Amino acid sequence: MTDLADVTVLILDDEQMVRENLEAFLEDEGLRVLTASNGEEALNVLAANTIMVGVVDMRLPGMAGSEFIVKAHALSPETRFIVHTGSTNYKLPRELRAIGITRDEVFIKPLADMQVILDATARLLGRGA
């Protein structure tokens, strides 16, 4: 098992059940989890906390997930991002690829096993899985 006890993750999703399920799973694995239901709220959380990984939905009310990631990266360049989307035909836009997000950090909802989010978090932070 990978030690991620000092890791703070931000979950940005407008679906309350998705946020709560991911939050419960990651907290059970020892991570500190903060949540937000929209991009503006998430930027405020990011400004007030050291977030190591953001798990971000793409289709959100107001600010889209990709716009949030670009703004969040400018505010906190050390934060890494995982895309968690319900769009089965999702393609990474150029601006997200430019900040280092790859297909390995894109997961389609619903996940059969949330362990993939934990494994991707460990991989992004160089802690192996």
For the chain, percent of residues with pLDDT exceeding 90: 94
Residue at 48 is within a domain: yes
Q: What is the CATH number of the domain that holds 57?
A: 3.40.50.2300
Residue at 117 is within a domain: no
Distance, CA of 42 to CA of 112 (rounded, Å): 26
Residue at 124 is within a domain: no
Residue at 83 is within a domain: yes
Residue at 127 is within a domain: no
- What are 37-96's pLDDT values in tens digits? 999 999 999 999 999 999 999 999 999 999 999 999 999 999 999 999 999 999 999 999
Q: Which amino acid is at 127?
A: R
Q: Lowest mean pLDDT: which of 1-10, 13-22, 24-33? A: 1-10
Average pLDDT over residues 89-111: 96
The pLDDT of residue 129 is above 90 = no
Residue at 125 is within a domain: no
The residue range of the domain holding 86 is 8-111
Residue at 1 is within a domain: no
Residue at 79 is within a domain: yes
- pLDDT at residue 86 in the model: 94
- pLDDT at residue 1 in the model: 45
8: Cβ contacts below 8 Å, ≥ 6 apart: 31, 32, 33, 34, 49, 50, 51, 52
Q: How confident is the model at residue 127 (pLDDT cuts 50, 70, 90)?
A: confident
Please give the tally of structural domains in the chain.
Answer: 1
Q: How confident is the model at residue 103 (pLDDT cuts 50, 70, 90)?
A: very high
Sheet of 106-108, strands arranged across: 32-36, 8-12, 53-56, 80-85, 106-108
